[in-house]
A = this chain, B = another copy of it.
Amino acid sequence: MAILEKKTYKGLTEETAIQLVKELELFPVHAELTAREIGDGNLNYVFRIASEENSVIIKQALPYAKVVGESWPLTLKRAKIEADALVKHGEYVPAFVPKVFRTDEDLAITIMEDLSHLKIARTGLIEGEYYPNLAKHIGQYLAKTLFHTSDFALHPFEKKRLASAFSNPELCKITEDLVFTDPFFNIDTNDYEPELQSDVEEIWNHTELKIAAAKIKQSFLTEAEALLHGDLHTGSIFASEEETKVIDPEFAFYGPIGFDVGQFFAHLVFQVIVRKGEDREIIVNQIDEVWQEFYSVFSELWKSKGVDPFTKVDGYREVFLAKVFDDAIGVVGCELIRRTIGLSHVKDLDGIEDSAVRLKAKRAALSLGTNLILKKASIKTIKQFITTIEEFTA
């Protein structure tokens, strides 16, 4: 029986993955196909199906987290959210997301463009590569996806329809817990090197910091400004010198615009922390560039496509973008802290072999993160942000 007709979820194998693309006639009838499971995450299968001339990717959500066997059940609805977000964002930035050929909600799959010729940006950056277009492209990606899905661009009925369609409670809860809650409390999920014990306790005992973090969490919980990617770190980006493709929007939901901006900033900051000299300056300049590009493209769209009468009021755009910047700086702080002492780390830091260097880098991440959360009201420009980064990571 044809796989799609069964209408029930079943994990694909390399064999059934080939059968599926044949059913869908994604390749010529007599093409010789090979399939390989290339996933390295723990939440999904990723199959690459190739003929001599062509290839596609099938991503299938698993109903549990692989890393802990079947003990951590996960909603398959995230596959639909991911596919729908790729399609929705693709309307505005077709160059920066993979093409989607087919989705199936029952099987929890998305069949999409194969991007194997590109490298995951985090991997390349850790290897010291430089992606000259990365900052400009992500600045455009952020401006276009976020402006076009906001109340500034959409009829309020369409905005609210999308906000309900992209309601994503299970994946949001992961962020609510791992980014905005657990690292600030003595909670089991936290994971940090024993040498950081006193740094960590300083955070747990810092009431002013926790109040500031609570406000950032509340913004994430309540502010439905635009359709976010929701997990925009450098591991969610394929890149080459020319191309940039943003993948994996399974955390997509309506949230504060500054969240996506801040998360991307944070993962560039990790590179600033681990790099030296000119290599470091390149990344510092990219932080500046992503904001400049975001600001300028968002502003152009606001002027040319704003539908709310208030978009015509002189000065409101600057006030709104200052709010986005403030939100973003707070998110950078939370992300720096949580990737250092929370459940989910980054290879940028954990991969440093020399333990003295690694601990120094982690302490820099913690003190910069703390400072950004506490002092964000006084960091009003990208230059001041960069000065603050330099101050804590030099």
Contact = CB atoms under 8 A, between A and B. Distances in A.
Contact of A160 (B172, B181, B313, B316): B172
Contacts of A151: 218, 221-222
A185 interface: yes
A157 interface: yes
A148 interface: no
Interface in A185-228: 185, 187, 207-208, 210-211, 213-215, 217-218, 221-225
A170 interface: yes
Interface in A170-191: 170, 172-173, 176, 181, 184-185, 187
A167 B156 contact: no
B316 A211 contact: yes
A315 interface: yes
Contacts of A215: 319
Number of copies of chain A assembled together: 2
Nearest to A158: B169
A188 to B, nearest CB: 13
Contacts of A170: 157
Contacts of A208: 315
A156 B169 contact: yes
A304 B248 CA distance: 40
B163 A214 contact: no
Which bracket fits the contact residues of A? 35 or more
Interface string A106-121: 0000000000000000
B173 A169 contact: no
Interface string A137-170: 0000000000000010000110111011001011
A320 interface: yes
Nearest to A319: B211
A309 B184 CA distance: 10
A309 B211 CA distance: 11
A157 B310 CA distance: 34
A391 interface: no
A217 B167 contact: no
A184 B157 CA distance: 22
A314 B207 contact: yes
A185 B207 CA distance: 44
A4 B108 CA distance: 40
Contacts of A213: 310
Given A211-B315, A224-B222, A313-B210, A169 B160 contact: yes
A211 B156 contact: no
Interface string A311-328: 001111001100000000
Nearest to A310: B214
10 contacts: A151-B218, A151-B221, A156-B172, A156-B173, A164-B164, A181-B310, A207-B314, A214-B313, A214-B320, A223-B223
Nearest 3 CB-CB pairings of A with B: A214-B310, A160-B169, A157-B169
Given A164-B164, A223-B224, 17 more contacts: A151-B218, A151-B222, A156-B169, A156-B172, A157-B170, A157-B173, A160-B172, A164-B167, A184-B309, A184-B310, A185-B309, A207-B313, A207-B314, A211-B319, A214-B310, A218-B320, A222-B225
